[in-house]
A and B are shown apart, each in its own frame.
Chain A
Amino acid sequence: MNLMSKNNDQATNEIIRLMQTDKSVDAPADAIHWSKNIFRARAAEPKKSVLEKVLAVLQMDLSPNRAAFGERSASASQARQMLFQVGENALDIRIAKTEKAFDLHGQILGEGFANCTVKLGEFETTANELGEFKLAKIPSGNYNLSVQKDEKEIVIEDLELK
């Protein structure tokens, strides 16, 4: 039976019947109050972090002016170059010393880290679509480098700039 298929009188009579047989009552006030409070109470609880944090493993560390195995010495970089492996991703980092500080260039290789957030201590930048990033004029010191996208974070601990 569909109300829409009824004529006006039938529809009105059906509405009246439903109202006259409506025996519902409001829930007790304290139960309503409790139900409303769920929102405030739960919203105030700190959300558990679901961030998956993984430590990168150093695969290769080339000092400045030192060629990689199999390369001519002439091709050696002026920067220190390091390659870290994290599951199916790799993190390529080049640290170049400038007059008073360091420039850090890097690229996160593999899927899932395009436009990721890169943090080196208190310094922060965003990678491009290819996962390339640059942090310039970083004072010497030891830093934790973190590369984060969505719920995945890759961390390199105690990266030394000297």
Chain B
Amino acid sequence: MPIFQNSNQLREIALKKLPVRFSARSLAKTDAELISACRRGDEAAWNELVDRYQRLIFTVPRRAGLSEEQSADILQEVFLTLFEKLDEIQQPEKIRSWIVTAAKFKTWGAVRCEKGFYTPETEEEMEAEMANLPDTLPLADAVLIELEEQHLIRAALMEMEERCRKIISMIYLQDSAATYAEVAREIGVGETSISPLRARCLKKLAKILEK
């Protein structure tokens, strides 16, 4: 779809303004390696790519207020477009930015359609409209960059040893916030050990993110 041709440029501008503060280099297989494997017909690499990005993509339309069904449709559209453009992607190492921009464009298209907004006729018009979205909107760059950072933290957590992953996830992730006592029971140590363990695990997490 021509709509994405210049989106990298748009994203670059946004990233310069608000740089993502973590790198993805610590991931077990880099995005570029996965894209390259997909191009060679490696289905397992595609599945890994879907697993890696489904949550981030799904979150973009959800944050913009779209329903779960609409957001699932956008997720599927983004992956379909990605598959169709696998061989055309010039900078596979920047696929995360491409994915987020694609999700943003498709979300904005769905929001605009729902509200009966004017539909830009050309790609340039669409990009100009996207670039001028006020920062207060749910799809503002600052919000998207934060979503990317949260995605990177989740990915880094997956790289940690199981005990650390459990401690950090249970204490800090919203969907599983637990007390020290609950964490201690879960991993089989005394409650007083949790605080130093938590500190060490956080340090390891920060190290992975800074790689």
Contact = CB atoms under 8 A, between A and B. Distances in A.
10 closest residue pairs by CB, A with B: A3-B21, A27-B58, A31-B72, A35-B79, A19-B172, A39-B46, A24-B59, A22-B150, A27-B54, A35-B50
Contacts of A32: 50-51, 54, 75
Given A18-B146, A42-B83, A4 B21 contact: yes
B154 interface: yes
A43 B43 contact: yes
5 contacts: A11-B206, A18-B153, A21-B146, A23-B174, A24-B62
A69 interface: no
Contacts of A1: 21
B195 interface: no
A25 interface: yes
Contacts of B68: 28
Nearest to B77: A35
Contacts of B206: 8, 11-12, 15
Contacts of A3: 21-22, 209-210
B55 A39 contact: no
A36 interface: yes
Contact of B56 (A21, A24, A34, A35): A24
A47 B43 CA distance: 17
Contacts, number: 107
Nearest to B149: A18
Contact of A36 (B47, B62, B203): B47
B58 A39 contact: no
A130 interface: no
Nearest to A38: B83
B139 interface: no
Interface residues of A, number: 32
B113 interface: no
Given A8-B206, A27-B58, A39-B38, A22 B174 contact: yes
B184 interface: no
A2 interface: yes
Given A8-B206, A19-B150, A39-B43, A34 B76 contact: yes
A130 to B, nearest CB: 32
Q: Which of A2, A3, A18, A35 has the most CB of B within 10 A?
A: A35
B21 A20 contact: no
A40 interface: yes
Most chain B CB within 10 A, of A28, A30, A32, is at A32
A43 B86 CA distance: 12
A31 B150 CA distance: 21
A94 to B, nearest CB: 41
